[in-house]
Amino acid sequence: MSRRHAITTGCVLTITALTLTAAPVVTRLPTAETPAAAAVRRSPPGMVEALQRDLGLTREQAEERLANEIRLAPIEAQVREQIGDRFGGAWYAGITARTLVVATTSVADIPRLTALGVRAEVVNRSLKELQVIKKELDVTLATRPHAGRVRYVDVRNNKVAVLSSESEATEHGIEAAGVDTEAVRVVPSKEQPRLLHDLVGGAPYYVGVTSRCSVGFSVLRGTQNGFVSAGHCGKAGSATTGFNRVAQGVFQASNFPDSDFGWVAVNGDWTPRPLVDNGVGGTVTVAGSKEAIEGASVCRSGSTTDWHCGIIQQRNASISYPQGTVFELVRTNVCAESGDSGGSFISIDQAQGVTSGGSGDCTSGGVTYFQPIGEILTTYGLTLMTTADKPPPPNTGTCTGYAQTVTGTLNSEQSAYQPDNRHYRATAVGVHAGCLDAYEGVDFDLYLQKWNGRVWDTVATADGLGAHKKITYTGPPGYYRYRVLSSSGFSPYVLGYKSP
């Protein structure tokens, strides 16, 4: 279900920060497939469709792009380590990211790169050299935002780019500062990033009466649950309420400007999940926080414009907002609007960061910047909640008194067969009863199936909306099993059942 909300008063987009969850003897029973294994590194629900819409791709092209990124990312990490200080950056080329391009300052690296299936480009400056030049520009231009509000390392052109609405004045300022002008590219631009003021990633939360932002990612600090978001959304000590205006938590720390991140400790009424809302009634799971390289697909979830995708364009961008300069952001061509601040940026299933600011909108298109997740976690000593974490079991108050109990965990659109991916045998005519409990807010379904000698027939179904299901069926002797399906949402579950 879409979560669009009215934009709060005073939240204007122009570059801005974006403020505003045993077989019969005569016949052999088939072995049930393991859905979780089949879904490994599968594109999250809604991501392929969003890439089609936002990048103008066919479904086949979107799927190929994601598969290529998964295949090539480890090669980039290997190359970066091997060539060390000669590394000039890397990026994907082609609409389906079929080619990995790696820049190096040494011709001698070409054979090694070619052998790895990489397209090599020889450049004059290493990535480290470009980062030093960008730091010099940050100092020079930070106090003159209209003469260079956005600055980033442009590895494709082996230069530092400065976006400016006053190109001539910016060029003079760079020359006066003694920065190597051959290493700098001034780009005429009308971008004016601003802060977009407005525990599933992308969900809205409120600070005070009118300020709305978006949840980034669920985190832990020791035993304390919480989430990360944009620092400009609230100061340390600011209280937050959730999407339902129920008391939620308090900002424990907040950095803005210089950086744009903070974290909120939530009360016991809120359960953090390794999930990001995909805006179409489903969720994307968070498996880790491996940094995606330039040219990788990335999607953003926010409380105003829901789910939009694009490409990581440049890293290490500096933004001079009217409220101050923020450094080391990542530039993307994903759109965003007021209220999306703090929301999740994710590449396939890897958390990338939280939305800071942007330019444009999701009608005409735009540019959005995010604060990388790694610095946030390190600064505050936080642990990202991922699918590797074992969530607490759901409340089983509705499923008591059953002879057998089994448990499991499902992501959205996954299913499992119980008991233990097998079946059970009933030796007499009688009643089969099953009861399923999962987290509130998800939609789980329950099916009872019977083996007819050739295939499994579904003999009873409980597939209404909600997380709690019950089945009662009177049947003959035979072999039975339950199928548990997550129609929407991530959750552990408990299945209680009894048989004749």
Provide the token pair at 154.
């442009």
What is the three-class DSSP state of 177?
A: coil
Residue 432 annotated to the active site: no
> What is the spatial distance between Cα 310 and Cα 299, in angstroms, rounded to a whole number?
6
Beta strands in 364-477 (DSSP E): 365-372, 383-384, 404-410, 415-418, 424-426, 430-438, 443-451, 456-462, 469-475
Tell whether omega for the bond before 257 is within 30 degrees of 0, i.e. cis: yes
What is the three-class DSSP state of 489?
A: coil
Q: Which of 154, 198, 260, 340 is catalytic?
A: 260
Residue 260 annotated to the active site: yes
Q: In the chain, count of helices (H) and strands (E)?
A: 7, 33
> What is the spatial distance between Cα 173 and Cα 283, in angstroms, rounded to a whole number?
47
> What is the spatial distance between Cα 431 and Cα 476, in angstroms, rounded to a whole number?
9
C-alpha torsion angle, residues 410, 415, 421, 424 (rounded to 10): 110
Residue 289 annotated to the active site: no
Q: Which of 320, 341, 344, 356 is catalytic?
A: 341
The gap from C-alpha 351 to its chain's centroid, in whole angstroms, comes to 5
> What is the spatial distance between Cα 16 and Cα 233, in angstroms, rounded to a whole number?
12
**How does DSSP assign 59-73, residue by residue?**
HHHHHHHHHHHHHHH
> Which sign, positive or negative, has the C-alpha torsion 391, 249, 320, 20?
positive
The gap from C-alpha 104 to its chain's centroid, in whole angstroms, comes to 31
Amino acid at 421: N
Active site positions, annotated: 232, 260, 341
